[in-house]
Structure 1
Amino acid sequence: MSLFHYTTFPTLIEHILPTKKIRASNLNGMNDPRESHPWSFGSINLPHEELFKDEYSSETHIDCQMKFGRMVKDRFQIVCFSGARHEGWNNEMMWAHYADRQRGVCLEFDADLLKSTITDEFPNLNWVLEPVTYIQKPVEHPWIYWNQHESIQDNFFNNIQRIYPVMTLHKSHFWEKEDEKRLVFLNQMETVYVPINSCLKAIHLGLGFPRSYMPAIESLLTEIGNAKIYQMIYQGDVYARWRLKKTADKWLSYAEDD
């Protein structure tokens, strides 16, 4: 199974290929307003005075509630992929929204190799790779249940384990065309950089991708496995992909059976 990640050419050439890694983001960096908008949580036994020493009072209660919401959201690190249920390289909406209006790229990853890489590279991190569920009605914010007999870190850990599906894997039906699957690192505040050199299968170049950029991609790809390069073609009102292969000093394109 393949997973697909759409991005811009500058991000590819300045960050992903040179480092051979893809960066996770926290919920505050997502496009969905339900995720990026400030949250507050209903809670039981939440020790505001302990969590916000020298800051909490009746006057600052609402501010501290919102700050706690950000503390919870900051404990998710997420990498977003398309192709959860359908082939992912020909998603016209994703090309328009996330790949610089057809001028960027779509990266194709082997899902099994990606999971193996994460297991090997991050043996102490807790993570899931699961499809997003799209729903018609608003999602109810989960409650936080604070155990006064446990440490702050244990309370965060246990609550994050319980609420992550609602927080990270449920979105409005308006986002359904993204066909998203998410790699979610749980209880992780530091940014995670996932190595890709063993699981990158292909780079798909958008319809408007300038061929003058090919030497830059070629030089960086020499250090990353055997990833294929495809040029996106639009014919008969649908996307197709043609394989690009270099012979001597010339790039040739041809239709390849998938």
Structure 2
Amino acid sequence: MTFLMRPRGQGAELLFHYTSAAGLAGILDSGHLRLSTLDRMNDPRESGTYNFGWRQASPGPFDGERMASMTEEMNIALRRTTHLVSFTVEGTEESADGYFGRGFARARNWDQYGEKHRGAVLVFDRDRTLAAVSELSAGSYASGPVRYVDGSLQSLPDGGWLMFEESEYLEVGPAAMVERWRHDYRDQLFLTKNKDWESEDEFRILVWRNEHASIPIAGLLEGVILGEHHPVPERRVLGTRLARLGIDRLMIGIMEWRHGTPGCHNSLLPDGSFGFEFIDDGVDQNLAPARPIIC
């Protein structure tokens, strides 16, 4: 039974990643889902510079130039080594009408992240995805649902304030200081957004490393749902792209909105056909068909 037919809460936990038509092609052609850095996020709480206050190590006149230099180093260490990828999860309320609340059926997400319904949603098995991330990051990762709170990033839940301590900075250096902050303030810095984003039901995977990070997707995908305006030429080569990844059976569907109600069908091309091509494996000229499971 595909995830479309299962009641929510049954079967494997799923993660839904919205992307554009070009994003889908890039992910399938590379075989990897690439993580982004914090400065590419939409929430100003995350995309802006951390300008937290400083406590000087010694009394005396305030040294603004030194504070600015240390603030820049802390931002580089905290932000440029934090890579993340965002997903939507299933809503908790069942709907008797269409797929309202399902992770792949969010109209706002389709508009903002799915290229105004021209893109796609990649559906991942959560447990297999987290296992793959743990392996590629050597355990230097975190994951969890985002909580939505209106308030200053500097304001802590206990009423305190995030502050850079110059004495700690001088004693252990920025790298060790950042490591402690990731542990002590992980939820505050990386898993909290303003309430404007609450409808996204976001789940994040965070990886800490100096270079770019990406997740190999083969073996993790449960399905691909195309937007109702996904370009027909791209639909025609979807099977080819999947087959090149060694994926020959997958749940494929295309969204439809009937009077505003989300649904899914399997006529990928205007003539009602699936539109999957065959590929040449380049070895013995045998043709390997892509055999999708259609919703």
Native 8 Å contact 1:81 1:181 kept in 2 = yes
One-letter amino acid matched to 1:172: N
Q: Distance in 1 between matches of 2:81 and 2:90?
A: 24
Helix, strand or coil at the partner of 1:144:
strand
Match of 1:143 among 135, 153, 163: 163
Q: Is it true that 1:199 corresponds to 2:220 in the alignment?
A: yes
Native 8 Å contact 1:41 1:69 kept in 2 = no
Q: Distance in 2 between matches of 1:68 and 1:108?
A: 38
Q: Is it true that 1:64 corresponds to 2:75 in the alignment?
A: no
Q: Is it true that 1:78 corresponds to 2:84 in the alignment?
A: yes
Q: Is it true that 1:239 corresponds to 2:262 in the alignment?
A: yes
Deviates most, 145-154 or 67-76: 145-154
Alpha-carbon spacing, 1:58–1:150, altered in 2? closer, same or farther (3 Å):
closer
Match of 1:34 among 45, 58, 63: 45
In proportion to residue count, which structure has more strand?
Answer: 1
Match of 1:212 among 229, 233, 236: 233
Give the structure with higher Rg (CA).
2
How many positions carry a matched residue from both structures?
242
Match of 1:101 among 108, 112, 116: 116
TM-score normalised according to structure 2 size? 0.73
User: Which residue does the alignment assign to 1:110?
Assistant: 125
Q: Deviations over 1:71-124 (max 9, x none)?
A: 1222311101111645210000000001110111111111011012122333x2
Match of 1:166 among 188, 196, 205: 188
Residue identity (%): 21
Match of 1:251 among 271, 274, 288: 274
Native 8 Å contact 2:266 2:274 kept in 1 = no
Instruction: Provide structure 2 residue ranges, at least 5 long, that are not aligned to the other structure.
Output: 1-12, 93-101, 156-161, 276-291
Q: Deviations over 1:158-200 (max 9, x none)?
A: 22221221111111110111110100113x2321111111111
User: Which residue does the alignment assign to 1:19?
Assistant: 30
TM-score normalised according to structure 1 size? 0.83
One-letter amino acid matched to 2:146: V
Match of 1:5 among 8, 17, 20: 17
User: Which residue does the alignment assign to 1:185?
Assistant: 207
Q: Distance in 2 between matches of 1:108 and 1:70?
A: 33
Native 8 Å contact 1:138 1:172 kept in 2 = no
Native 8 Å contact 1:3 1:81 kept in 2 = yes
One-letter amino acid matched to 1:88: G
Helix, strand or coil at the partner of 2:196:
helix
Q: Distance in 2 between matches of 1:254 and 1:113?
A: 20
